[in-house]
Amino acid sequence: MTVGKTWGCEWLVVTWSLAIEEQFYLLWPVVLRFSPGKWLPWILATVLVASPLARTLDFLAGDEWGYQFLLPFRADALAAGSMVAWYRWSGRQNTMVNRLLLATLFLSACFFPVFALIFTSPDTARPMALWGYSYLAVAYGALVFVVLQYQGSRNLALLRTRTTKFFARISYSLYLVHIAVLSLVFILFRAPQDLNTWTGIVLTGLSLLIAISICALSYRILEKPMIDFAHRKFTFSGIENSPRPALAS
């Protein structure tokens, strides 16, 4: 995509994010294996600072594609999630950190309407490159942190409902298939993808229902058996209570 300066085939357009994630999943375990535990927060902090800076410089240098699709320019979001995981795994509890992340989530939520308005404008490349992706990394990181910190609370009861759990299980596969299903439905009905018409609205709703059905079937037939197999073969019990002297140092 970066070299060809194109989004490529619409059916496979979501694969750019999968590529970034898989590259991160290949590299990060190596860092974890060979880095002292006390270095990890500093490594992650470096990525959190360096990635947005590199993204900005890349865009200002005239590259309108690489800042979206290349791991060094998008690693801050993954590093934010890893920082949350490290903080919880280390067993640390800091009231100031907890309040700061809660305030960050509140402020980012208040700012979201502004972000959404800018994102729907004709030219989104510049704001996304300069601060948009950074905003999303901070907002998502704060959201994950707060949800984990307050898990089990009454305020998050909605996240524990059967419906929410269902969509949580199929969310990633839904991300992968929804564009393909949407395109196929509009092609079959020979209609333009226009949400300003009743036909477009109905076909979009139909596409969503079909995609959800496909993902539910995929989870039941393919994903759940694989997850169950992994749980039978590998044991992770006791990790939460195991001593972590390296990370606590």
Quick one: three-class SS letters along 77-106? HHHHHHHHHHHHHCCCCCHHHHHHHHHHHH
**Number of neighbours of residue 185 by Cβ within 10 angstroms:** 20
* Confidence (pLDDT) at 244: 38
* Sequence-separated (6 or more) residues with CB below 8 Å from residue 219: 169, 170, 173
For 99, 101, 139, 153, the CA distances from 94, given in Å and listed in that order, are 9, 11, 20, 19
Distance, in Å, from the CA atom of 165 to the CA atom of 212, rounded to the nearest integer, reads 13
Distance, in Å, from the CA atom of 234 to the CA atom of 75, rounded to the nearest integer, reads 29
* Confidence (pLDDT) at 241: 46
* Confidence (pLDDT) at 8: 82
* Sequence-separated (6 or more) residues with CB below 8 Å from residue 171: none
Q: What is the pLDDT of residues 168-220, one digit of tens each?
A: 999 999 999 999 999 999 999 999 988 889 999 999 999 999 999 999 999 99
Whether residue 1 contacts residue 174, with contact meaning beta carbons closer than 8 Å, is answered with no
Q: End-to-end alpha-carbon separation of the chain, Å?
A: 43
* Confidence (pLDDT) at 142: 95
Distance, in Å, from the CA atom of 100 to the CA atom of 178, rounded to the nearest integer, reads 36
* Confidence (pLDDT) at 236: 62
Distance, in Å, from the CA atom of 53 to the CA atom of 61, rounded to the nearest integer, reads 12
* Confidence (pLDDT) at 91: 82
Task: Provide the strand spans (E) within the chain.
Answer: none
What is the average pLDDT score of the chain?
A: 88
Distance, in Å, from the CA atom of 43 to the CA atom of 69, rounded to the nearest integer, reads 22
Distance, in Å, from the CA atom of 222 to the CA atom of 192, rounded to the nearest integer, reads 33
* Confidence (pLDDT) at 7: 85
H and E: helices and strands count for the chain = 11, 0
The residue ranges of the chain whose pLDDT is under 70 are 236-249
**Token pair 């800042």: residue:** 67
